Amino acid sequence: MTSIGTIIKEIIIPHRKGNIRLNPEFVVLEDAYIQRFLLGKDYQRMYGIDICTSKNRHITIGTNKEKKFSLDIYQMSTHYPLEELLNEFKEGQFRTSLTKPSGQIRGHDIELYLDVERPYPSILRRPPYPASLETRKEIEKHINEILDMDVIRKIGHNGIVEITTPLLITWHDGYYRFCADFRALNNYTKADRYPIPRIPHSLEKLEKAK
């Protein structure tokens, strides 16, 4: 597809205390027809919108935790046909099922190479950061979630296994964001010099396109 320009499209979400206006920027593609678009959680959170992805998905706005919109993820009548369909194509691209959240995508593995050999320097074998009891509980909960999603796997507990230190970032609304500290690992990773285009540079090239 060929990019022909960019457009800022205002999106208005009605609210009794004042409408919320979003101004996302879209790239216009030649001969493209799109029925839907996705706005990430982090982008919506900048406007005070929180999406609660429980069984009954709902949205809250600002400090008011009252449900504004609600949508059932799926109906029981469609549960079994959908489960049969997923099992039929379980060897396909996605590792997913109704009883286990979607995680890894097959065919998109990334191989990283370090420019040091074992024994690795101490900065790559550091112990976990100190954490409070509440934080440790949250870390354990997040680790178990992504273990169930097959995003990570257990690799052992002996002395030669290096572990990336996990940490939590607390948002202003009390929401925890699970991260991993890759700064030390990045310093010893062989860089891939393939020139991947940066989004700001790509948008600058399309700035005056018509």
Backbone angles phi, psi at 205, to 5 degrees: -65, -30
Tell me the two tokens of residue 24.
């996302």
Cβ-Cβ contacts under 8 Å for 112 (sequence gap 6 or more)? 189, 190
pLDDT (tens place) for every residue of the chain, 210 residues total? 677 888 887 877 776 666 777 888 878 877 777 777 777 777 777 777 766 655 555 555 555 555 544 444 444 454 556 666 666 665 554 454 445 555 555 666 677 788 888 888 888 877 778 888 888 888 888 888 877 777 777 765 554 555 566 777 776 666 777 888 888 888 888 887 777 778 888 788 777 766
Length of the chain: 210
CA 180 and chain centroid, separation: 13
The closest of 157, 153, 152, 160 to 117, measured between CA atoms, is 160
What whole-number distance in Å separates Cα of residue 52 and Cα of residue 193? 39
Answer whether 126's CB lies under 8 Å from 184's CB.
yes
Q: What is the pTM of this model?
A: 0.42
